[in-house]
Amino acid sequence: MDIIDEQLKRLTSYGSWEIIAKDNKTTYMASDGPHGLRFVTSEENGYQTDEPSFAYPTLSFLANTWDLNLIKQIGNAIAEDCIKHNVSMILGPGVNIKRTPLCGRNFEYFSEDPYLSGMMGQAYINGVQEKNVGACLKHFAVNNREYDRFYQSSEVDERTLKEIYLKPFEIALKAAPYAVMCAYNPVNGILSSENEYLLKQVLRNEFSYEGLVISDWGSVRDRAKSLKAGIDVAFPYNDAFYNQLKKGLECNYITKQEVNESLLHIDQFIEKIKKVENNIVINHQELCEKAVEDGIVLLKNEAILPLNNNPQKILLVGEFLNNPIISGGGSSKVTPNNKVEDLMSCLKKDGLKSDMEYVLGYMIRYGLPTPFGYKIALEKASNSDMVIVGVGNTMLEEKEETDRTSIKLNPVFIDLIKKLATYNKKVIVVLYCGSAIDVSDFVDDVQAIILAGYAGQGVNVGLSKVLLGLTSPSGRLAESWAMKLEDTYTNNQVGNSFIEHYSDHVFVGYRYYTSNNIKTRYPFGYGLSYINVRYNSLKIVNENDNYHVFVEVENLSNIQGKEVIQLYINDVVSSVSRPIRELKKFTKILLKANEKKTVEFIITKDDLKYYHPSLHRWYLEDGDYNVLICKDAENVVLSEKITICEDYYSQYSKY
């Protein structure tokens, strides 16, 4: 075999998971993430067996923490799991935007907001690569639903593409991920794996990315076309790929220079991952549990939480409380290496001395709930002081390759909650799910709703501490929860099988709801707490066109807790349509009992720009901007105006 043949073979993976080194013998393993290591040990007849590993909270849950330092720690821990199994690259994080709550893979993504998604992705990558394991940023780009994802094109105008769907990648790329993975779907009519505009003009030129670009598994139709577009390694191995590359070379469709550029990216990738050192220093189980405490979102609380230790009888209902769903289905599913503890055991361990009893209420059969012992549950509910019921979505409902058809819970769960509420006035609902839920069928019947999410193998350990008030809930929603599916812009529409036209433009998620005065059930950024935080003052100081924003907050409670401070920008008068507010900065702080703190943000001119569709670049328009400090996307607590005066000749005439 001559040297060019050996080179061409390196442009496709060895088997399903491995990148081939220069000697054509040594290989380096990639494995699924992003919620932990899915290390496949064998494949037979299309079925894969994976080795148990630490199952961390899903990205959807981690985003609810709004804690970049925690996300980085999770990245560190996942890297250590990779090192233990000689895995060189974890396939994550995914920073795709949650345009519709129906997307089956939303649990794998951070948020509907590009800034929050990008910052979370950046922290995750920094954490993984701090230990010289590669992170792989995905799915590039505009993969926002699973419906016919291999064929239906995402049709997006240039401004929307740059402001919403590419912005999280642009931000996350500042962490210099070792690899970027293309998406399955066509974008504006061209497959992501063959899209030179995305992979070369945007990724390489505009975003200055110098690392490895790989395909998603099975996304390459023609290897020569994908190489031409910028795919360095195609996964998984396919017999046809070598011949396609050979033919492309022979007819001068691809050049030796293009082959050499991809080989250089592969070799540079391998040099980075060779620096791995086997130093395991993190208590992984403890981190799994700590993350849960930070990400649980208290959605409703009518003075029933936290639980107290007064003599009372508590009934726990539902298989999810005993055997919770901790992740959605598909390639990101991790088999936990520790048994997921049941909630009752956790509550007892944490000191709850109430008389507790557990009943099944329903069973998960063939992946879906079916009533099982309603009568027992209702009888015991009528003789209890309080009921905690666990419900949610199974891995058949939130999974890769298919979307949900509704944001309501399975009717079995709705029926059970409503029946329990007729027999007991103190019902607490715990939701185990990875995406937004329509709670309208039961929200008025229960006293509390708590989002446990898909929180990995430590879910009930952390949940117990929040229920008991050992930790004040500090999770905030990273996506809007609409009143009903019909209130979302996309509703139940999925395109016409040829294209999906993104006619909502930049008005995605809370940008759509707030700009159109549509009330949500629970806004983006929303979450209740056991502490009472007062926002005292907002002060802005301009230093050389950097706006230093000082926010003083005060904990008025006798217990400590964490608060997420959110800063949004409103362009008062713009030449183009802009959302009424856009998240630009955030931070999460710990406030001790009765403590005051001042938080500083720095707003630059770049934070105020929009992408100008006529100029094909980011543009700063002078005028007034409101700096908004918010509890969530719908509730402004403090506001201050700044005025931008740019050079006269940098501006286009408005009048």
Cα–Cα distance for residue pair 176/211, rounded to 1 Å = 8
Q: Is 287 left (phi over 0), alpha (psi -120 to 50) or beta?
A: alpha
Q: Is 216 a catalytic residue?
A: yes
d(CA 620, CA 291): 38
Cα 408 to Cα 441: distance, rounded to the nearest angstrom: 8
Give the DSSP per-residue string, 487-529: GSSSTT----SSEEE-TTTT--THHHHHHTTPPPSB-TT--B-
Give the pairing of strands 448-451 and 427-432: parallel
Question: Distance between alpha carbon 558 and the CA centroid of its chain, in Å?
Answer: 33
User: What type of residue sits at position 264?
Assistant: L
Joined together, the tokens standing for residue 234 give: 């195609």
Going 573 to 481 to 111 to 584, the CA torsion angle's sign is: positive
Q: Compute the distance between CA of residue 511 and CA of residue 501 in angstroms, rounded to an integer.
A: 18
Q: How many CB atoms lie within 10 A of CB 592?
A: 12
For the record, the structure tokens of 552 come out as: 């003083």
CB-based contacts of 494: which residues, under 8 Å, 6+ apart? 145, 147, 148, 152, 403, 500
* Phi-psi domain of 86 (left: phi exceeds 0; alpha: psi -120 through 50; beta: other): left
> Which residues touch 114 (CB under 8 Å, ≥6 apart)?
97, 163, 164, 165, 167, 168, 171
**In the block, residue with structure tokens 């040829």:** 498
Are 35 and 329 in contact, with CB atoms under 8 Å apart?
Answer: no
Q: How far apart are CA 206 and CA 327, in angstroms?
A: 35
**What tokens appear for 320 in the block?**
């999810």
- 647 in Cβ contact with 630 (< 8 Å): no
The residue whose two tokens read 């494949």 is 43
Rounded (to 5) percent helix, strand, coil in the chain: 30, 30, 45
Q: Which of 216, 232, 403, 607 is labelled catalytic?
A: 216
CB count in 10 Å sphere of residue 122: 24
Angle between helix axes 256-273 and 239-250 (nearest 10 degrees) is 140
Which tokens go with 385?
Answer: 């002081």
CB of 149 closer than 8 Å to CB of 136: no
CB 568 within 8 A of CB 581: yes
Q: Taking a C-beta distance cutoff of 8 angstroms, is the pair 547, 79 a contact?
A: no
Identity of residue 597: K
Cβ proximity of 569 and 517 under 8 Å: no
Longest distance between any two alpha carbons in the chain, whole Å:
82
Q: Which residues have CB under 8 Å from 281's CB, separation 6+?
A: 80
Spatial distance between the Cα atoms of 362 and 377, rounded to a whole number of angstroms: 9
The catalytic residue positions are: 216
